[in-house]
Amino acid sequence: MILAAGEAVRMGRPKQVLPYGSTTLVGAVVVAAQASTVDEVVVVTGFHGAEVAAAVRESARIVRNPDPAAGNMSSLVTGLNAVGEGRGVVVLLSDMPNVSTEIVDALIAAVDDSGADAGWVAYSDGSGHPIVLGEHILEEVRDLTGSKALWRYLMSLATDRRLVLVVDDSKPVDVNTLDDFENVTRRLRHQEPDQG
């Protein structure tokens, strides 16, 4: 599930559809999710829903948060309701285009192998996405409210119910401002092979 419902107030325009390589920020996240072992890619839209849907086209299932102003938890719950019962979910953000497919798959496998109810990644400079939510905790997650409610809930889980995948890499850039966008696109240009 990719959360793409934000208003992008700090950016001043729909950041989800800013150009990123041959696609957009949200498009890059969709591509990474599609290449992973997830069964289905669901994109939750809200503000700028038409623009995000146009950028994603038929490459993922689009669901719309009817009240995106209510915050990230309302978008997460919208996505969980769309996914349905009996399935765990991977949560990705549309403004983090450099989360790799390898990290997504490594986290899914580690959570599955451990039997944990949830998992996330510990990067060299802090914890972050992706997040895996096992099917057994989704009802509890649906009842969460408030800012940072998901992270508070995850940190409250007993240590044997959560898995933290440690990776030797820095956190993916969370694109909120024009400086963030320039940073993430500069990194991408350095990663791409020369075409000459």
| CA distance linking residue 183 with residue 7, whole number of Å | 21
- Per-residue model confidence as pLDDT tens for the chain (196 residues): 999 999 988 888 899 999 999 999 999 999 999 999 999 999 999 999 999 999 998 889 999 999 999 988 999 999 999 987 778 999 999 999 999 999 999 999 999 999 999 999 999 999 999 999 999 999 999 999 888 899 999 999 999 999 999 999 999 989 999 999 998 998 888 776 544 4
pLDDT at 147: 81
CB count, 10 Å around CB of 93? 23
Q: Give the pLDDT of residue 58.
A: 84
Q: Write the single-letter amino acid at 76.
A: L
Residue 176 CB partners (closer than 8 Å, separation 6+): 10, 11, 15, 95
For each of the domains in the chain, give its residue range(s) and CATH number, in order of start.
2-189 (3.90.550.10)
- For residue 136, the tally of other CB atoms under 10 A from its CB is 11
Residue 111 contacts residue 132 (beta carbons within 8 Å): yes
pLDDT the model gives residue 194: 45
Give this prediction's pTM.
0.92
Which of helix, strand or coil describes residue 24? strand
Q: Note the pLDDT of residue 191.
A: 75
The per-residue pLDDT for 193 is 53
Q: Rounded to whole angstroms, how far apart are CA atoms 125 and 167?
A: 10
How many Cα atoms are found within 13 Å in the side-chain-facing hemisphere of 160? 0
